[in-house]
Amino acid sequence: MCDSLRVRWTIVPQTAPRPWIACGRCGSLRAFQSSGRIRLNANGRKLDAWLIYKCLACEKTWNRPIFERRNVRDIEPSVLEALQANDPQWIRAETFNLDALRRTSPRIDEFPDCDVVKDVRHETRDWTKLEIELVVPFPTSTRLDRLLSSELRLSRPRLLTLHEVGTLRTNSDRADILRRRIKTGTQATLDLSAEADREQRWKPLATGAL
C-alpha cells in the first residue's frame, strides 16, 4: 500500500529440537542433541544415511535414520553431495525436520530462542501503516503474539486488544492466529495513523535500526 512501511522479518531459530530417546547407558529416556555429523553406509548400490545425536547426560550416540536402503540413483545429486560432505547448512536444516523426529521419538523439546533479521522492503514518506512479512526457514515454536510483543515492545494484552478492534490485522482468518506458531507467509499489518511517534518509536523497532 502507498501509505505503508513494509518490512520483512526472517526468523532464525538458534536451538534445534531435541528428541528424547531411551538411552542404553543411562537406562532411561534422555534428551539427545545433534552432533552435526552424518553417518553413511553403502551396500552395493544401496545407501543408508543417519544423523548422529548424542545423549546430553552421557554422550552415548544415537543414529536417527534419514533414509535406509535407498538406491543411489534415486537420491538427488545435491542431497548426496551434502551427505558425503557433511554439509553444515544441509545438516542444520535436517535437525529441524520435526516430522522425522516425531516418527522416532515420544517427546521433542523445542526452543523459542531465535534471531530476527529485519529488512526494509518499501517505505513511503509519512507512512501510517506498518506491514510485516515473516520468513521462517525452519520450524519454530515461537507464537505470533510472542514475536510481535518482543520485537515491538508491546504487552500481549495490548496486542490482543489491537487485534480485536482491527488496528492489528493479519492475512489469516483464524481467530486464534496470534496464538499460532509463526510460519513463512504470515503477514501482520498495524494501523499506526493515530501514533504520533511512528518515526521515533515504531520505525526503529520494525526495521532493527535502533
Query: End of a domain among 109, 141, 175?
Result: 109
Looking at the fold, whether 125 and 189 belong to one and the same domain comes out as: yes
CA distance between the termini of the chain: 25
Q: How far apart, in Å, are the Cα atoms of 31 and each of 22, 51, 53, 108, 175?
A: 9, 15, 10, 8, 35
Split into its structural domains, the chain has a count of 2
pLDDT at 210 exceeding the cut of 90 = no
Three cell numbers, residue 23: 538411552
Looking at the fold, whether 142 and 186 belong to one and the same domain comes out as: yes
pLDDT at 83 exceeding the cut of 90 = yes
Residues 95-107 have pLDDT tens digits of 999 999 999 999 9
Looking at the fold, whether 89 and 154 belong to one and the same domain comes out as: no
Residues 121-173 have pLDDT tens digits of 999 989 999 999 999 999 898 999 999 999 999 999 999 999 999 999 999 98
Looking at the fold, whether 37 and 91 belong to one and the same domain comes out as: yes
Three cell numbers, residue 34: 545433534
Model pTM score: 0.84
Residues of the chain with pLDDT > 90: what percent?
91
Looking at the fold, whether 176 and 125 belong to one and the same domain comes out as: yes
Angle between helices 144-152 and 156-165 (to 10 degrees): 110
Looking at the fold, whether 197 and 122 belong to one and the same domain comes out as: yes
Looking at the fold, whether 138 and 148 belong to one and the same domain comes out as: yes
**Measuring CA to CA, which residue among 50, 56, 59, 63 is closest to residue 15?**
56
86 φψ region: left (φ > 0), alpha (ψ -120 to 50), beta (else): left
pLDDT of residue 88: 95
Query: End of a domain among 79, 109, 139?
Result: 109
pLDDT of residue 127: 95
The residue assigned the cell 544441509 is 90
Looking at the fold, whether 149 and 90 belong to one and the same domain comes out as: no
Looking at the fold, whether 193 and 166 belong to one and the same domain comes out as: yes
Looking at the fold, whether 150 and 189 belong to one and the same domain comes out as: yes
pLDDT of residue 209: 82
Query: End of a domain among 109, 138, 166?
Result: 109
Residues of the chain with pLDDT > 70: what percent?
99
pLDDT of residue 2: 72
Looking at the fold, whether 37 and 76 belong to one and the same domain comes out as: yes
Domain that includes residue 143, residue range: 4-14+111-207
The residue assigned the cell 543417519 is 50
Looking at the fold, whether 116 and 135 belong to one and the same domain comes out as: yes
